Chains A and B, each alone.
Chain A
């Protein structure tokens, strides 16, 4: 059934279809609409779930940790400072191999405080052992959550998944969205079942102390599970297409890359803008294309390499910066071509921090820059007159 829905509502509809037994969250903009919708579903009896209103994001993450550890599917959502406050629990959930699904409504981080979109929050959680998906639009936001539970709960994986959706752009933007039938979702996603849980009839100890004789192996195990996820994610996307008839999710999306001389790489909703520009420039005879990184962790290096190996000029446009170094995705794209015969020119662009608009004109300009000198890091649309002007020492 197609409905014209806000992204937050689309995510809430997806979660309702996945039937988590426990939901816990703490208010933060722009995530709030997601859990407000879920609270209403619970209040109306449409969703049989315990909705736990907590006193912080740290506790929200801890509540859902406890719920999954008891063998019950769970959900939480957050943004920005909330995700950072959860940080300690985020590591803990992955380390304990608990298959939580969390929505990150991507937002800039403080200071200065800013409620608008970029990817600095979820990028800060890059190294935690979580799987990370980035949705381009509301339909994919919905679909990815259903795929996320399927992936997280697979016995070969048993890791948490963060579905990242751009704050405001998707959370508050309306688009036509197809909501799958419950019956089909039930068929695609069976109830969560595990013997790895807190149960008095089979008591186990969870959250051991691991000394230097055994800690390191826990990290290798996660690494190996993430490697397996690289193979499973395309399979789940394929199964999803088979069940629901929609081609969403997967590792990467390639767009008009065949014979492309110039390609831009991006994540999330920005890819929509880039694809539009690609179409326009193609009409003018420019050989341009795009690559969208849907799965950021595990990092799909082989899929990216295969997609880009014939493109001589590559630009990475990202809404995050590893301050003092480069854009994080740029660094990793560069790494892919280390010791490879191809030696593409790779430019790094950081744009859209704190919600600054990235227009089609901006993207056209970025494509033009690919024809110029190679630069590791270039900030886009900077107001030079404001530099050194925000804080006076």
Chain B
């Protein structure tokens, strides 16, 4: 049985988050309870009286998916059911790295047996493509528009993987809808580990990033292949595995597909900065 019934989903065509969320729940199986932050995924999957979810699923608020999951986990522990039921908290990048960061840190620090999935589409897409802490450098969003005095988003992505790893939890990983077998492996692996787990999944967004819906997987792949979105794993704050990219592709190949970076293509100085981010990732994580 498909545990995410897309018949009851109103996601945009080519939505990377819908692909990822469907893979997460179907890989996890029936014996899960999911807590979901406010955001695109919640909105397109749970419009009364329809629900795409064939597993127990709860949406409460924007910033508290990790805290609600902590309560679910504590309740299962009390009932003696935690052995057989996995708890998954899920949120977008804003619900994870910005407004939800405090609750997430608390969940990680307290050692709850929960897998937290961040569906990283790199902006507040649900409210109309505003900039988040996980929006990449120079991206054009509605609150980081380029102009005479701006080249777009002023900061690189917040280093959420390292922030989570610094809590010295058993498992932290990044994945991408561009590499589905790898994503499935990481979900499976995470769910065999007891304690707090953090999985950040790169989810291209046709609407917010400005590309044709059929390119979602390709865009996702290129983010990884250029070194801009390294697929890596940490265990107890030690880097334990990386997906190698022996011949990194030029970042322009990734950028030129997306309207959010269109303003950069003739700006050598900014392109160099983005190239530098890829190079730093490749060096720091040993991607080649």
Q: Does A203 contact B (CB under 8 A)?
A: yes
Please state if A205 and B46 are interface contacts (CB–CB under 8 Å).
yes
Question: Is B58 on the interface with A (CB-CB < 8 A)?
Answer: yes
B273 adjacent to chain A (CB < 8 Å): no
15 A-B pairs besides A198-B33, A205-B56, A214-B48 with CB distance below 8 A are: A22-B74, A52-B74, A54-B67, A55-B103, A55-B106, A59-B106, A62-B67, A63-B68, A63-B70, A69-B58, A92-B61, A203-B30, A205-B53, A209-B43, A209-B47
B71 and A210 within 8 A (CB): no
List A contacts of B53 (CB < 8 A). Answer: 203, 205
What's the minimum C-beta distance from B202 to chain A, rounded to whole angstroms?
Answer: 25
Interface residues of B (CB under 8 A from A): 30-33, 35-36, 42-43, 46-49, 51, 53-61, 63-64, 66-79, 85, 102-103, 105-106, 109-110
A interface residues, Cβ below 8 angstroms from B = 21-22, 24, 48-50, 52-56, 58-59, 62-72, 74, 88-89, 92, 96, 197-200, 202-211, 214
Q: Tell me the complex Cα distance, A283–B166, Å.
A: 71
Contact (Cβ within 8 A) B56 A199 = yes
Q: How far is the CA of A210 from the CA of B59 in the complex (A)?
A: 12
List residues of chain B with CB within 8 A of the CB of A55.
102-103, 105-106, 109
A-B contact pairs, 21 of them (CB 8 A): A22-B78, A52-B74, A54-B106, A55-B105, A56-B102, A58-B63, A59-B102, A62-B71, A66-B68, A66-B73, A69-B72, A70-B76, A71-B79, A92-B60, A96-B60, A199-B56, A200-B31, A203-B30, A206-B59, A207-B42, A208-B51
Q: A58-B63, A198-B33, A207-B46 are in contact. Are A66 and B58 (CB under 8 A)?
A: yes
By a CB distance below 8 angstroms, the chain A residues around B48 are 208-211, 214
Query: Is the beta-carbon distance between A67 and B58 smaller than 8 angstroms?
Result: no
Asked whether, in the complex, the Cβ of A50 is within 8 Å of the Cβ of B67, the reply is no
| CB nearest neighbor in B for A88 | B61
Chain A min CB distance to B66 (Å): 8
Give the docked Cα–Cα distance between A64 and B74 (Å). Answer: 9
Distance to closest chain B CB from A153 (angstroms): 15
The number of residue pairs between A and B whose CB atoms lie closer than 8 Å in the complex comes to 162
Given A55-B103, A209-B48, check contact A72 B64 (CB 8 Å). no
Q: Do A63 and B67 touch (CB < 8 A)? A: yes
Question: Least Cβ distance of A385 to chain B in Å?
Answer: 43
- A52–B51 contact, CB under 8 A? no
Q: Determine if A22 and B64 form an interchain contact, defined as CB atoms under 8 angstroms apart.
A: no
State the Cβ distance, B72 to closest chain A Cβ, in Å.
4
User: Which one of A58, A200, A207 lies within 8 Å of B58 (CB-CB)?
Assistant: A207
The residues of B that contact A62 with a CB separation of less than 8 Å are 60-61, 64, 67-68, 70-71, 103
| 5 closest cross-chain pairs (CB), A and B | A66-B71, A62-B67, A207-B59, A70-B75, A55-B106
Contact A50 B47 (CB under 8 A): no
How far does the alpha carbon of A204 sit from the alpha carbon of B55 in the complex, in Å?
Answer: 7
Looking at the complex, which one of A48, A53, A200, A210 makes contact with B56 (CB distance below 8 Å)?
A200
Given A63-B74, A198-B72, A205-B57, does the pair A58, B67 have CB atoms closer than 8 Å? yes
Q: Which of A21, A96, A202, A214 has the most CB of B within 10 A?
A: A21
Contacting pair B78 A59 (CB below 8 A): no
Query: Cβ of A65: which chain B residues have Cβ within 8 Å of it?
Result: 60, 64, 68, 71
A66-B69, A88-B61, A208-B51 given; A50·B56 CB < 8 A = no
